[in-house]
A and B are shown apart, each in its own frame.
Chain A
Amino acid sequence: MDIAFLSSTMVTLLKALPVTLALFALSVTIGCVLALVIVWMRVGGNRYLAAFAKGYIFVFRGSPLLIQMFLVFYGLAQFDFIRNGPLWPLLREPFVCAVLSLALCTGGYSAEIFRGGIRSVPPREIEAARAIGMSGFLLVRRIIAPIALRYALPAYSTEVVLMMKSTSLASLVTVWEVTGVAQRLISHTYRTMEVFLCAAVIYLVLNFIVLQAMALLEHVLSRHLRAAPPAAKV
């Protein structure tokens, strides 16, 4: 085993880590906000908004993320009003295109996950909140959202892990994140196995951290499900 090569590969790949992390953090954050908007449309009670949300979810769940990314990256430039529009300096950037398509996609998936969480909220607990005079946003903020979050968290952590891995697709629209740099390294060295192994280790470590964080969050939020603490001292 060529330790020297492996470690120099690792160093090269780690230099691309900030790009991968930026892709991940931005797309998950934007995607989460987007998902909240979409799920609000989906369950808010307005027929047309619900239909739009359904269509959105269908399109972004039903088509490959890679194709979505290509469409954003190569497709947007086809439209004059975008190329001449105020956002073009941003939208011409591969990094921005990658974040945009990742966020749009996870927005659709997460919206469905959140909807599942909302549907799991026991109607009785909502009724109790109505009975003391809660409605509208207060009801959502104090009762529905905190309970729905607890139900949605396990599925959502899977989605977040998938997003970490999906950032590797950005290499195909010329973003030099970890996978892209790995491929470039391979084209110079022809040492596929070692380079990709190093890249895989990086993703594994990242996802290990993400999963630990999500598990911790779940633990904190599920105190009410665990056995009662020992009786308080009198």
Chain B
Amino acid sequence: MPEVPRLSVRDIRKSFGSHEVLRGISLEARDGDVISLLGASGSGKSTFLRCINLLEVADGGEVWVDGEQIRMVQKGGRNRPASQKQVDHIRAELGMVFQSFNLWSHMTILQNVVEGPVHVLKRPRAECVEEAHALLRKVGIGDKADAYPAHLSGGQQQRAAIARALAMKPKVMLFDEPTSALDPELVGEVLRVMRALAEEGTTMLVVTHEMGFARNVSNRVAFMREGLVDSMGPPQEMFGAGASPAFRQFIGHFQA
């Protein structure tokens, strides 16, 4: 029996008004895959990521998480999820890390991390607190458990947000430009945490502009252009001789 992919996305389409942002995107992530999604701004990378956990509802296409398809229905001429309960359950299995961290400002870092396990997964608090401390140590902010988000630097906040997502024990981690809102000197600390996760075998989908991460950490690179996957492959291929002309031109901007 073939292995069930952790995440399988088929022919996702999305328009905002008359503007077609995603024109049929398919992607599959197997256990331990680290896929970097590259592309110019406006190429639909973030929208694609948000369609996976239904923060945006795609107009068409399928999303499968660990062999379970998110059921959609046509209602009022629009594509909608059939069951909010299923959406919640799928979202709990997908860890999302946002560009601007989106920590809950009124909660301490520890409270941010235990919120999901305690209130969504309904697990015993004491157990969750213990795990949360371990996660915070793992991302290098073990001493910040009782601080509030506003008291932390951007890099620390993003690492806390990663811990928050990990606390749900997700099947796939989705990163939406996790380092784009950070000062350059803080980018490294977040990338180090992400690299460590990748090395542990976490399945990750990363929208990023960090070419170093894409090339050295991910095992696949997808280049998006005008709402389509222009090319996809292992980094040594993509960054080597096999690159498509469009991708070569795109990475040229970074080397300039």
Q: Which residues of A line the B interface, CB within 8 A? A: 122, 124-125, 127-136, 138, 142-143, 146-147, 150, 221, 223-225, 227-229, 231-232, 234
Q: B119 an interface residue at 8 Å Cβ cutoff?
A: yes
Contacts of A124 in B (CB 8 A): 98, 100, 102
Please determine whether A131 and B53 come into contact, CB atoms closer than 8 angstroms: yes
Q: B228 an interface residue at 8 Å Cβ cutoff?
A: no
Please determine whether B146 and A125 come into contact, CB atoms closer than 8 angstroms: no
24 inter-chain pairs at a CB distance below 8 angstroms, sorted by A residue, are A125-B103, A125-B104, A128-B96, A128-B98, A128-B102, A129-B104, A132-B91, A132-B116, A132-B164, A133-B89, A133-B91, A133-B168, A134-B116, A135-B84, A135-B87, A135-B88, A136-B84, A142-B119, A147-B104, A224-B105, A228-B147, A228-B151, A229-B146, A232-B146
Contacts A143-B104, A147-B106, A150-B106 given; indicate if A138 touches B120 (C-beta within 8 A). yes
Contacts of B92 in A (CB 8 A): 132-133
Contacts A132-B115, A133-B89 given; indicate if A224 touches B98 (C-beta within 8 A). no
Q: B150 an interface residue at 8 Å Cβ cutoff?
A: yes
Give A17 Cβ to nearest chain B Cβ, in Å. 37
Contacts of A135 in B (CB 8 A): 84, 87-88
Q: Which residues of B146-201 are within 8 A (CB) of A?
A: 146-151, 161, 164-165, 168
Contacts of A138 in B (CB 8 A): 119-120
Range of interface residues on B (Cβ < 8 Å): 35 or more
With A and B bound together, what is the CA distance between A129 and B149 in angstroms?
Answer: 15
Contacts of B102 in A (CB 8 A): 124-125, 127-128
Please determine whether A130 and B148 come into contact, CB atoms closer than 8 angstroms: no
Please determine whether A130 and B55 come into contact, CB atoms closer than 8 angstroms: yes
With A and B bound together, what is the CA distance between A122 and B104 in angstroms?
Answer: 9
Please determine whether A225 and B55 come into contact, CB atoms closer than 8 angstroms: no
With A and B bound together, what is the CA distance between A123 and B149 in angstroms?
Answer: 16
Give B44 Cβ to nearest chain A Cβ, in Å. 18
What is the chain A residue whose CB lies nearest that of B152? A228
Interface of A is mostly: helix
Q: Which residues of B111-168 are within 8 A (CB) of A?
A: 115-116, 119-120, 143, 146-151, 161, 164-165, 168
Inter-chain pairs besides A127-B98, A132-B115, 12 sampled, C-beta below 8 Å: A124-B100, A131-B94, A131-B96, A133-B116, A135-B88, A136-B84, A138-B119, A142-B115, A147-B104, A150-B106, A224-B149, A228-B147
What is the chain A residue whose CB lies nearest that of B151? A228
Please determine whether B55 and A131 come into contact, CB atoms closer than 8 angstroms: yes
What is the chain A residue whose CB lies nearest that of B161? A128
Contacts of B115 in A (CB 8 A): 132, 142
Q: Which of B103, B115, B165 has the most CB of A within 10 A?
A: B115
Please determine whether A223 and B84 come into contact, CB atoms closer than 8 angstroms: no
With A and B bound together, what is the CA distance between A142 and B118 in angstroms?
Answer: 11
Contacts of A122 in B (CB 8 A): 105
- The 10 lowest CB-CB distance pairs between A and B, nearest first, are A133-B92, A228-B151, A224-B148, A128-B102, A131-B96, A132-B116, A133-B88, A124-B102, A133-B91, A133-B120
Contacts of A234 in B (CB 8 A): 143
What is the chain A residue whose CB lies nearest that of B145? A232
Question: Which among B143, B150, B164 is the interface contact of A232 at CB below 8 angstroms?
Answer: B143
What is the chain B residue whose CB lies nearest that of A227? B151
Contacts A127-B98, A131-B96 given; indicate if A224 touches B106 (C-beta within 8 A). yes
What is the chain A residue whose CB lies nearest that of B112? A128
Contacts of B98 in A (CB 8 A): 124, 127-128, 131
What is the chain A residue whose CB lies nearest that of B121? A133
With A and B bound together, what is the CA distance between A231 and B145 in angstroms?
Answer: 12
